[in-house]
Amino acid sequence: MNIKQFIQALPKAELHVHIEGTFEPELMFEIAKRNHIAIPYENVDAVRQAYDFHNLQSFLDIYYAGAGVLLHEADFYDLTRAYLERCREDNVVHTEIFFDPQTHTARGVAFETVINGIVRACREAGQQWGISTRLIMCFLRHLSEESAFETLNQALPYKEHIIGVGLDSSELGYPPSKFERVFAQARTEGLLTVAHAGEEGPPKYVYEALDLLHVRRIDHGVRAEEDEALMARLIAEQMPLTVCPLSNLKLKVFTEMKKHNLRRMLQRGVLVTVNSDDPAYFGGYMNRNFEALAEALDLSAEEIKTLCANSFRASFLSEAEKEEWIRKIESFHVE
Ligand code: ADE
Ligand code: ZN
């Protein structure tokens, strides 16, 4: 078995994927056409050529524009269904999916439309393919606290479908502290919390996510390495980092994959996981992320197994479910 086959064979959980970031140009054209919305590109190749980013904001501008063609429940269903099909191909057996309601409600799409489409696709993937799913609702940090509160209130009637809340969008200049109160309210409602921090932002934002938002995981967190005390804390608390290698490369967080710090953090005992973030924009789903890392950092089979086991350890599955998947992973041997 070569490394690629080994990655394919191992069961994996994905903990950091934005459903709007799984929107492939082919489906975008199809949905735009049926919704009678014009796309400012000739064809799918032209769209892909525009995916040349120099930082997070240059990506977000295109990502929000792309999501603008999603209008109906069927659109959110098709989007989610297509992502879950890719999970099945990559042997991702469990996924905790982010969605950005404000991207849609700001355009007049009802919260209900968004969540109903996503939930229906998730339910079917469970029934047909045995893929388990959870949903995490993200607040856009470049918008106001008031808008986040409004979004939380819109979500409450659908709370049974939402495991937690997260924080995404432009990081620099929008610290986690801005959302301390809305996250406190979400926790009162029984929702778990996560937050993007330390992607482009400084270690201070990671501290704020931990101390003010009481997160269960840090999304990205790669810049935590700049602060020794923070690293010691992440290791001691076994605080998971949901790292996204191809995303980091495309958004120039690292200039080349060989310079990625995931292996260094793993070897120091940080609970790091591998994820795809916005796979339609960054050139690959889960297995491509593993392959790119394994090749550039020369990961061993044992390290790949640890990363897969970490994905379940850091998930919101029950302890019994986690143990079952980890046992399966441990039973894998490379020749
Ligand atoms: N929204 C979608 N992808 C994101 C990322 N990598 N960082 C912040 N916000 C995002
Ligand atoms: Zn993200």
Q: How many residues does the chain have?
A: 335
> Is residue 220 part of an annotated ligand binding site?
no
Mean model confidence pLDDT for the chain: 98
Q: Nearest ligand to the C-alpha of residue 219? A: 2
> Is residue 278 part of an annotated ligand binding site?
yes
- At 328 the pLDDT is 98
Measured CA to CA, the distance from residue 288 to residue 12 in angstroms comes to: 13
Q: Nearest ligand to the C-alpha of residue 63? A: 1
> Is residue 196 part of an annotated ligand binding site?
yes
Active site residue 199: yes
- At 49 the pLDDT is 96
Q: Nearest ligand to the C-alpha of residue 64? A: 1
- At 335 the pLDDT is 63
> Is residue 54 part of an annotated ligand binding site?
no
Measured CA to CA, the distance from residue 335 to residue 333 in angstroms comes to: 6
Query: Which atom of ligand 1 is closest in space to residue 251's alpha carbon?
Result: 6
Cβ within 8 Å of residue 266, ≥6 positions away: 272, 303, 306, 307
Region of 212 on the Ramachandran plot (φ > 0 left; ψ -120 to 50 alpha; else beta)? alpha
- At 334 the pLDDT is 76
| Centre of ligand 2 from the C-alpha of residue 251, in Å | 11
Both tokens assigned to 20? 């709007």
Mutation probe of ligand 1 site: the residue of 22, 60, 242, 252 with most atoms within 8 A of C-beta: 60
Query: Which atom of ligand 1 is closest in space to residue 169's alpha carbon?
Result: 9
- At 333 the pLDDT is 86
Whose CA is closest to atom 8 on ligand 1? 169
- At 22 the pLDDT is 99
C-beta 200 within 6 A of ligand 1: no
Residues in the chain predicted with pLDDT less than 70, given as ranges, are 335
